[in-house]
Structure 1
């Protein structure tokens, strides 16, 4: 059988925009819209200010940045755009791959398309391919990357983005395969940020994007990489998952017929996707039963062990997160915020909310239990039991989280989220993004997203 990288390279090389179903293109434009919206929402954050300073020092240039006046070299523009898209943890996720797919695919595609003077059509196709390959590479792990302490957004994202960058560089099938082989030595990302709310995760899709652009450039001059970068003895899966229990050929199942892009979920809440079904369950119970936060005695959350490791451990720290990123990966804090405020928005991850004694008191009431019926990683299930001070027991199960293909956010939902993230008059920007793939150059598209 041909090497996995060769098959994916041949697929990417031969695929044109006409080969992509209209349904996939429409959804891709809405995923791009969501990404641009959350990037604008992140423009005034402290992590963005620091990332801007670092990126400017690394590579000044002439490429635009989403929602900012900055101009940077291609790799640094991709890096900063990825930080903007991913920094609030409000960006899309391919659920079976447990991977944020747009956060690296879109910045890479923009940077490479401008560099190689491509059209907006070329940009859209590369973005679709980047998501597709990222999702397929990540899905093979069945959640196993997380179990080993690796962040699949940085791992799978590097491979998908390398395909985008190589396609836009005009490389043939062999060149696109070579870019994947090379980027395998750059794909990275560890989950140790979960221990203390460190900011490294915000860099993972940006590093995937810069690595992809680097790998495509080396591939363009004939630099050889290992043939079996995915399935080899020391390839991606053996080194990150162990020698057994995976089948790399799963990445090829239905290639070109079943589009994994359609399984990409848009987030309704600005927190780790593992917490969303819990937020929905708690908010539903609060509204349906009409109890007050003061009446809550115990909140028991049933969750699969793999997502539990990310959002529930260590439990004492999760009950009192130290910064906004820490809070986004804290199921106890999020449960407390939903109970105290009847909502879960960006406002619930500010310094003021982190110091809210009512939220923190309720977080102490959260208990964690295993969920033997969880559908993880196919869906991020939640089961919640709330015990009130009068002895009443309230129960709610969300087997499938919102955003999943079985419960997708509609295009109208995504447009509403975009408008909320931009504030004010978002119509012209929205129309521009939803026209991606029409007439004009990739450079024109990116310039229209740059802040004056």
Structure 2
């Protein structure tokens, strides 16, 4: 099976008129949601360290970096913007975090080379789709092999998007994917101690994918069997899988629909539980200090070992832990992402609740929902069965929802006029004549 060349042909031949109106709308929502995540990331120390490094390295002042007053070259901008988008567990999930791998690369090239909004939307759509198909087809890449999906498949999606912006033919795109394959990298070992490596995987993937496309444009050749070959992507990173699934329905069915977004700044497997806790707190007078017992029953998928560390030392570690995040949700209003901070990690009440929380694997459930949350507080027992969180494929984020979320996330970071200008521009993305205008709106004024 010539999977690499089939994907390259799909990318090269797809036109803007091939995109369903619903997909264009979802890509605009994903763009605004990614920008919200980037602004949040710009305020966080681990992302700021990446941004500082990029600034110190210099680079030709070609394109903007989110919430910064200076410019850098396209590759370093993709690294910095991707790191900020992926900095706080609140970026869109569509295409397996492609908003932090594909979008920064496409935005950088679109700004520098003055591509229009339709070209940008088409580039991210095909890049998201390619990334999503790689993620869907792999078996055990994360849970068994210990690789981090965005870091592994992100370079492919970024290379595809940049190649699309340059109008690569199928052969050049296949070569770009071949080069991107040797940039696939990212280990899950950060999960146990909450290390910062996860925070840079998206930006690195974006930068490396962009550079792979630029190298292919200059005539460098990559293996055109990089995905299906003996030493290719699936044999290197996945358990045995049916590779035919990768291209099934390609060009007819967009597997990135319906879209997937987060409601809270934590891992996707925690979203529904946090929503249930927020609802219970709103419906009942739950005093966290009076809680004597908390139990969560759900699928093994939400209770894997890597998601049940009870005593994390960092915010990253907490955001990857279901019991710890549930404890933070019990003590704080997580509609504000920035309440998940060092103070929350060090809070004795949070740590006690996480340590004593009962976790029960329900082997009859195999998805993120339903799960059940039980809280005993003040002699009363409260229970709630989870349902799909806002932004999930079964409870989609609307444009109005995305604007409310963007305003809420950026309220303390940028002024209202700048926020409104960004929302208005993204709402009219397909009619933008030059993406440099939108990229400039993201910079610090």
> What's the TM-score, normalizing by structure 1?
0.91
Matched, 1:347 2:338: yes
Q: Which residue of 2 aligns with 1:89?
A: 89
Shift of 1:223: 2.7
Q: Structure 2: which 5+ runs fail to align?
A: none
1:304-337 Cα shifts (integer Å, max 9, x gaps): 3344336534x3xx3x322221221122222112
Q: Distance in 1 between matches of 2:97 and 2:443?
A: 23
Matched, 1:433 2:433: no
Q: Which residue of 1 aligns with 2:275?
A: 280
1:12-65 Cα shifts (integer Å, max 9, x gaps): 111111111111111111110011112112222212321122112334222111
SS of residue paired to 1:269: coil
Structure 1 runs (4+) greater than 6 angstroms displaced: none
Q: Report if the CA contact (8 A) 2:74-2:112 is conserved.
A: yes
Q: Which residue of 2 aligns with 1:9?
A: 8
1:191-246 Cα shifts (integer Å, max 9, x gaps): 1111211111111111111111121122223333223222222221122123x2x1
Q: Structure 1: which 5+ runs fail to align?
A: none
Q: Which residue of 2 aligns with 1:42?
A: 41
Q: Report if the CA contact (8 A) 2:425-2:432 is conserved.
A: no
Shift of 1:356: 2.2
Decide whether aligned partners of structure 1 residues 292 and 444 sit closer, same or farther in structure 2, where only a CA change above 3 A counts: closer
What root-mean-square deviation, in Å, do the aligned CA atoms of Structure 1 and Structure 2 show?
A: 2.1
Q: Which of 240, 252, 256 is residue 247 of structure 2 equivalent to?
A: 252
Deviates more, 1:49-58 or 1:109-118: 109-118
Deviates more, 1:246-255 or 1:111-120: 111-120
SS of residue paired to 1:148: coil
Q: Which residue of 2 aligns with 1:270?
A: 265
Q: Which residue of 2 aligns with 1:201?
A: 198
SS of residue paired to 2:365: coil
Decide whether aligned partners of structure 1 residues 295 and 34 sit closer, same or farther in structure 2, where only a CA change above 3 A counts: same
> What's the TM-score, normalizing by structure 2?
0.92
SS of residue paired to 1:396: strand
Shift of 1:388: 4.6
Q: Which residue of 1 aligns with 2:236?
A: 239
SS of residue paired to 2:143: helix
| Aligned ranges 1:62-73 → 2 under 5 Å | 62=61, 63-73=63-73
1:373-392 Cα shifts (integer Å, max 9, x gaps): 3343xx465332334563x5
SS of residue paired to 2:343: helix
SS of residue paired to 1:299: strand
Aligned length: 439
SS of residue paired to 1:166: helix
Decide whether aligned partners of structure 1 residues 347 and 85 sit closer, same or farther in structure 2, where only a CA change above 3 A counts: closer
Matched, 1:173 2:174: no
Shift of 1:156: 1.8
Shift of 1:266: 1.5
Q: Distance in 1 between matches of 2:57 and 2:140?
A: 34
Matched, 1:449 2:425: no
Q: Report if the CA contact (8 A) 1:69-1:450 is conserved.
A: yes
